[in-house]
């Protein structure tokens, strides 16, 4: 777990007292938020210069700039890095109200019973991936034949694990499942072994791994999941959700701004931008 303290680009931290709640920040015009993030390119990661960057990090910085411009509030951030989705999610469940999580978290009704979400900032497609030599799946009913004697890889605590368990129950009772800690491990293990593994991964993970090194893998498009939306994780009851709602949905919405599109163009290639844009 790695910690890093950052201020907004336009703000030098000179104050010793920071607001914990949004309501208090409106009064004293300053606040500090602790950000728990999953270390994953291109969403939140350190570049070659050791600087924290990525789509989700730039989103938080855009939020801070909006807060200063529209509310007169100077924000400071403390960033804490995690290597698993479960680490981020489980911490936010029990976090203080001035904390948030960035982990490409899909918004679901089940999770909304445990945490709050900002309005969605990105669409997601989850892809079923295998070695290129595996027979192409045209329907879920094809999986027992195409993936016979193979093992499904998935991250624990994710919506993809839930989906995989439903598929196992309804279409592939003999499915074997193995767990990994980080989404990139799924594509890498599939690429490095000969027809031993398959699994679901988010489209940005798939793109990022192939960007680093072309691999002998393919997508089974007939069973792609493309109805997910990512949101910022917030503790239930946090009044910072009110600020995030206004930031994301005010006017035409942040996703309709030039800043939003510039963030995506900065970190993504043409292959995936259309697939993730709100």
Whether 17 has a pLDDT exceeding 80, the answer reads no
Cα–Cα distance measured from residue 189 to residue 194, given in angstroms and rounded to the nearest whole number: 9
Helical H segments across the chain, by residue range? 22-28, 55-71, 85-93, 143-146, 159-171, 183-192, 203-212, 240-249, 258-267, 270-276
Close Cβ partners of 63 (under 8 Å, ≥ 6 residues apart): 75, 243, 244, 247
Whether 265 has a pLDDT exceeding 70, the answer reads yes
Which among 123, 81, 127 is positioned nearest to 106, based on CA atoms? 123
Cα–Cα distance measured from residue 153 to residue 186, given in angstroms and rounded to the nearest whole number: 6
Whether 209 has a pLDDT exceeding 90, the answer reads no
pLDDT at 131: 92
Domains, the chain, with CATH or none: 2-122+229-276 (3.40.190.10), 124-226 (3.40.190.10)
Name residue, tokens 């000179």: 14
* DSSP at 136: P
Summarised one tens digit per residue, pLDDT across range 38-75 is 999 999 999 989 999 999 999 999 999 999 999 999 99
**273 with 265: CB under 8 angstroms?**
yes
pLDDT at 20: 86
């Amino acid at each position: 777990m790695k910690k890093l303290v950052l201020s907004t680009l336009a703000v030098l931290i000179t104050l010793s007292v920071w607001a914990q709640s949004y309501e208090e920040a409106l009064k004293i015009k300053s606040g500090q938020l602790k950000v728990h993030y999953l270390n994953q390119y291109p969403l939140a990661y350190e570049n070659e210069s050791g600087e924290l960057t990525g789509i989700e990090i730039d989103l938080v910085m855009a939020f801070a700039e909006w807060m200063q411009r529209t509310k007169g509030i100077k924000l400071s951030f403390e960033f804490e890095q995690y290597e698993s989705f479960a680490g981020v999610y489980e911490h936010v469940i029990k976090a203080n109200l001035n904390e948030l999580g960035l982990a490409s978290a899909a918004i679901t009704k089940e999770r909304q019973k445990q945490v709050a979400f900002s309005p969605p900032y990105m669409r997601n497609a989850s892809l079923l991936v295998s070695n290129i030599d595996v027979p192409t799946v045209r329907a879920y009913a094809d999986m027992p034949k195409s993936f016979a004697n193979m093992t499904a890889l998935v991250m624990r605590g994710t919506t993809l694990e839930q989906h995989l368990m439903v598929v196992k129950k309804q279409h592939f009772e003999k499915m074997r499942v193995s767990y990994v800690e980080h989404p990139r491990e799924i594509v890498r293990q599939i690429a490095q072994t000969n027809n031993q593994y398959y699994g679901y991964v988010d489209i940005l993970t798939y793109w990022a791994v192939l960007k680093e090194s072309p691999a002998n893998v393919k997508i089974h498009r007939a069973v792609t999941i493309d109805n997910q939306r990512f949101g910022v994780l917030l503790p239930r009851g946090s009044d910072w959700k009110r600020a995030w709602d206004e930031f994301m949905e005010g006017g035409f919405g942040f996703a309709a701004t030039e800043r939003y599109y510039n963030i995506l163009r900065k970190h993504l290639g043409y292959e995936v931008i259309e697939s993730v844009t709100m």
